[in-house]
Structure 1
């Protein structure tokens, strides 16, 4: 059985991106889904000085290994000031010190959502353009605008147009 490693790239306990990542990952058929929580990988802020003194934290190694165990990596991005959340960026910085091929040449499905009408599209574009340089094979992406109007915790995506768009993307992804 193929394995999806999924997470919301946010440390919020009630992360809407974690909800979207979980929902989207479970729309794939005949897969095992492992949902990560970035709070389980909280480390000191990356710096080369800290790495020199203390080495790379075990949590960075653990996160890097989780990515390597995936057949598909599914990430839904929170947008903080137009870019990655600091929690995700810090984990990415530490993991990239283990190997520049941070994403292990794995296929990726990238998503984003926000409470605004652009649905995290700026951070999604950053990730789509950056991750191929770090061993990510970006297969597709999806943005869900105005999360509170288009998603229900019990029903998932409630807007039929967005739900159909996500379904079409998932059906097109072969991994």
Structure 2
């Protein structure tokens, strides 16, 4: 069986982001048949239709190509003002352009971490609406909301909470099956 190539996108640009820690935890908890490649998107410019008229910027085209080639995408996102972080939404806006946008029928899993008690639940529902519009195949369950996240990761970024590790492991196992199911539908 081939290794499933999974792209990871962290919607937070902050170096010490707890969502980056959660994304790395997802990679570590994936079944051995999966590999996570975390992709940076920091250099994506603000969306501008005038720029698009001349073609996709190289940073956007590289992201589009990488997402198109992968078997699935895992997104870890913080919640900013009950919604998706603005610069990440901007990146999704760039990626969604064109008939060949890369999220169409692409398996996607979402997780979020927050110091608050809801674990970023509101952002996931906002992100699911965006991904629904681009025809992504979002894993419905199990959902992963890591509330009280500052107590669940240590200073080195390791998850110190067994329950959280269990939730993320269950989601990654389900995501493996979801990717395979979506591939069979093609």
TM-score, reference length from structure 1:
0.86
- Kindly indicate which of the two structures has a greater share of residues assigned to strand: 1
The alpha-carbon deviation at position 6 of structure 1 amounts to 0.7
CA 1:93 to 1:28, structure 2 compared with 1: closer, same or farther past 3 Å?
A: same
Of 11-20 and 161-170, the range deviating more from structure 2? 161-170
* Structure 2 residues not aligned, in runs of 5+: 180-186
Q: 1:55 Cα shift?
A: 3.1
Instruction: State the match for 1:10 in structure 2.
Output: 12
Correspondence 1:19-98 to 2 at 5 A: 19-30=21-32, 31-39=34-42, 42-52=43-53, 54-98=54-98
Whether contact under 8 Å (2:78, 2:114) holds in the other structure is: yes
Q: CA RMSD for the aligned pairs?
A: 2.0
Looking at structure 2, the residues matched to 127 and 84 of structure 1 have their Cα atoms a distance apart, in angstroms, of 6
CA-CA distance at 1:168 after TM superposition:
2.3
Instruction: Give a deviation string over 1:11-63, Cα, whole Å, max 9, x none.
Output: 21222211211211221122222111222xx23311323433x4321211111
User: Which residue of 2 is the match for residue 164 of structure 1?
Assistant: 166
How many residue pairs end up in the alignment?
Answer: 172
For structure 1, list consecutive stretches of 5 or more residues without a partner in the other structure.
none
The answer to which of 93-102 and 61-70 deviates more is 93-102
What is the match of residue 115 of structure 2? 115
Q: Which has the higher contact order (CA 8 A, sep 6+)?
A: 2
SS of corresponding position for 1:93: helix
Contact 2:11-2:78 within 8 A present in 1 as well: yes
TM-score of the superposition, structure 2-length normalised?
Answer: 0.82
Confirm or deny: 8 A CA contact 2:29 2:168 kept in the other structure: no
- Judged with a 3 Å threshold, the aligned counterparts in structure 2 of structure 1 residues 50 and 105 are, in CA distance, closer, same or farther, namely same
Cα distance in 2, alignment partners of residues 99 and 76 from structure 1: 26
